[in-house]
Amino acid sequence: MNRLRWMVGVLIITALAGCSSVPERGAPKIVYVPGAKVDLNNSALVKESLYAQYGQWKNTKYQLGGLSRNGIDCSGLVHVTFKTKLGIVLPRSTEFQAELGQDIDKNQLRAGDLVFFKTGISVRHVGVYLEDGRFLHASTKHGVIISRLSETYWKSAYWKAKRLDT
């Protein structure tokens, strides 16, 4: 019986450790999924992939640290979207995602660019640009949703945009 308790305890600790947030180390980097990478210069294909992701994740609730259809946060949605739809593995955190690629002006945005917002003193938010001023993201209030950069809240919180090197 003691051995069984010990084994159950080890399993529980292992499972919990796997769900904990571990800081990423080293310089942020992009990794490509072999044979699955979508050319980010192909805006039509990128948009098709992003809208397909939205169709699958629409209204999934926001959950800090979440990475599943039961709940996901903004950087998690970007991470999962790029990995599963575009074949590109990005860092998990907004902090490291914001360090990737090249800075671009808001008027140069194209499908697949990352858009960042300052939503608090030290709080950052990220989404993926679609087209016509719209972006895909996980909202704390509405879950996975498409919003407009021109909305008062997002317009005032806008920080920067990044284009990933392909």
Burial label for 117, CB within 10 Å (0-12, 13-18, 19+), is buried
CA 137, CA 141: separation in Å to the nearest integer?
11
Q: Is 125 a catalytic residue?
A: yes
In contact, 162 and 113? CB cutoff 8 Å: yes
For residue 137, indicate whether it is catalytic: yes
Q: Write down the catalytic residue from 19, 74, 79, 142.
A: 74
Could you tell me which of 58, 52, 47 has the C-alpha nearest to residue 132?
Answer: 47
Looking at residue 35, the DSSP 8-state letter turns out to be: T
DSSP-based three-state secondary structure for 72 = strand
Torsion angles phi and psi, residue 97, rounded to 5 = -60, -35
| Active-site residue identified among 19, 79, 137, 142 | 137
Point out the residues that are catalytic: 74, 125, 137
